[in-house]
A and B are shown apart, each in its own frame.
Chain A
Amino acid sequence: MKPTQEPRRPTHVTRPGANHTGITLHPDLVAEMIEGTHEFGPTSRGGIEQLIAARDRAARDSEPAATMPPTRHLPAERLPVLDQLGARLAFERTGVRLYQALIGKLDTYDAFPGGPSRADLELLRDQERDHLLLAEELILDLGGDPTVVTPCANLQATATRGICEVVVDPRTNVIECLEAIVIAELADHESWDQLGHAVGLLGAPAVEQRVRDAERIEDEHARKVRGWLAAAAAELAARPPH
């Protein structure tokens, strides 16, 4: 349901504002800070290698962050495919939520020339949902459990945690959200491609064909989002902020 209020114009976040983080705003303060580091130097010797050595030691004591469930009834060669399918399922589910949030943004902020229409985004949302259901179906076909958080699913969720936070943040506009979503789309396409290779190794041509179909659609998603970002860049260049 679209809101009844008038949409906001896209905000130029690159306009001059109140950013306080750089050193050029406070050169005297920074000079004093640098002077302080000369008087009060480090209290321990060495460099980054000690952090790396500590990681190495901890890694030798660590168990894997996640494994697959006990699967006595499944051939072991299916597990890598089930792991990757679990990741696609989880990623697509989050993808639907991302596009639902982005459609909401489009209702809040005006569209921009060359940017996505509501229908464009609804198509992508529905295709993410189709891929979610495809992953579910293939997992069931291979004898897996689609509710499992597989190791690959958990890893990708950790790696992409910030994307969702960008898109549901009321302060970000459509263009900023597309900057985040392009990361998801590029990663998603790459992951479907890798899944296609894994399924190919399994020797299941019918499954491979369906995975490749999804991979092509995800490739199209990445192209579309990159195109919208290019249009946004052109729009910002044509109408620079005052």
Chain B
Amino acid sequence: MNPRNSPHHEPDPGPQRAAIDRYVKLVQSGEMNAYTEIVRHFEAPIRGFCTHILNDPAAGEDAAQETFLKAYRTIRSFRGESSFSSWLFRIARNTCIDILRKQKRESTKAQRHSLYEEGRSEGSASQRLEAQEQLSLLLQALSPVHREILLLREYHHMNYDEISSVLQCSIDAVKGRLKRARQEAQEYLRHLHENENVVQREETL
């Protein structure tokens, strides 16, 4: 996995991974400053991931900070059984799950429901949604389990193996979950576009 600044997200090239592994070993041996390079390398994808999972940039930034802090505190337990990137994403994912659970405890599902309904309801010109709004609505509408797996696959371009390492489940479970997530996403997008078309037709009348 690789941070990317271009819209196309290519997999992590080997030399970069080797450099990261070197920094990890340095941090494990007590060189705290080497951690700066690790944070610099992963901060954008981890912030992106947390922001999308939580669907909130401020909460995403806090979750990303917490992720890096937790990763630093437990870096000695990283044995290289998976890539460091997968390990880090696993921590980010667990951090976000904790936050979502906390949010769920604190509020009802009403807010999420209302946003979903907003996307479905008949309505106004604002329903001709730009891609970013559509994405935000889609992420909001998906269940957290489907949201995370779609993000890992389609946004961070992880392969099945890496995803199974992040989610700590079998490859078969990854495939099944991904399939259901795509079905849920497609159904939602179809619905959203249908609504958009209805609005457009109403406006032309």
A and B co-occur in one complex = no
